[in-house]
Structure formats: C-alpha cells, structure tokens
C-alpha cells in the first residue's frame, strides 16, 4: 500500500508531482487510561512513520538509508487516536488517516493536492 500526491512546498519549498508516500512502521496500539491520568479522556493511540520518495520507481529502487528519500520534518511520523478499537488500526485505516492529514492542512501539511492510492 502507498499513496501519491502533488506538493507545492515540502520543507524548504520543494515542489513535485507524484510524490510516493508509504508507511514504514507502526507502534501500538497503546491505551491512555483515565484512571492513571484523570486529565485526559481514555483513548487508544497508534503511531506510524512515513517515508517519501520522488515517485514509485524511485521507491522500487531504494536501498537502506536515506539516499533516495525526500526528507520532511512535517511528513514523517503521525499519531492515530480513537476512543475505542471498534475500527482496529489496520494499514488501510492508517493510510486513510494519512490521506486526511495531507489533504486537510493538518498543522504544516497544507501542501498536498491530488492525493490518491498508489
């Protein structure tokens, strides 16, 4: 699974079309328990990392390390949160979350257009 998108400004003004993004690791789920921390509502958290490549062929030829990757401070790691685990955080759920974040202007992520499954 992966997604593609166009960008007018990734960290430092890089503009590109067909950027290929894929999730590399998932940590969790972890439960925030309201009994141990009464200031927060009980919820579940999953974090996931994202790697960006210029396009799908660059991803296919990637080797370990950062040589063929696009560095980004704003598109690198995200936290998916849910009140319960009725919708277990499968890869499809996490990719849907990533597409929403890229398209919604979440923080500094207002740089993505034409978001599609790859």
Q: Where are the beta strands (DSSP E) in 1-118?
A: 3-10, 14-32, 43-53, 69-70, 77-82, 112-117
- Sign of the dihedral through C-alpha 93, 99, 104, 109: positive
Q: What is the pTM of this model?
A: 0.79
User: Which pLDDT belongs to residue 50?
Assistant: 92
Quick one: pLDDT at residue 61?
A: 78
Mean pLDDT, the chain cut into blocks of 10 residues (118 residues total): 82 76 89 73 86 84 72 84 74 89 66 82
What was the pLDDT predicted at 105?
62
Report pLDDT for 3: 92
Domain boundaries, the chain: 3-112
Are the CB atoms for 44 and 85 separated by under 8 Å?
yes
């Amino acid at each position: 699974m992966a997604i593609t998108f166009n960008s007018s400004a990734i960290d430092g003004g890089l503009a590109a079309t067909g950027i290929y993004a894929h999730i590399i690791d998932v940590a969790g789920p972890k439960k925030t328990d309201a009994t141990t921390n009464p200031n927060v509502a009980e919820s579940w958290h999953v974090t996931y990392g994202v790697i960006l490549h210029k396009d799908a062929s660059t991803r296919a030829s990637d080797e370990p390390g950062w040589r063929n990757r696009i560095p980004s401070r704003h598109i690198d790691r995200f936290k998916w949160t849910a009140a319960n685990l009725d919708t277990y955080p499968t890869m499809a759920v996490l990719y849907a979350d990533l597409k929403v974040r890229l398209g919604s202007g979440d923080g500094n992520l207002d740089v993505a257009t034409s978001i599609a499954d790859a």
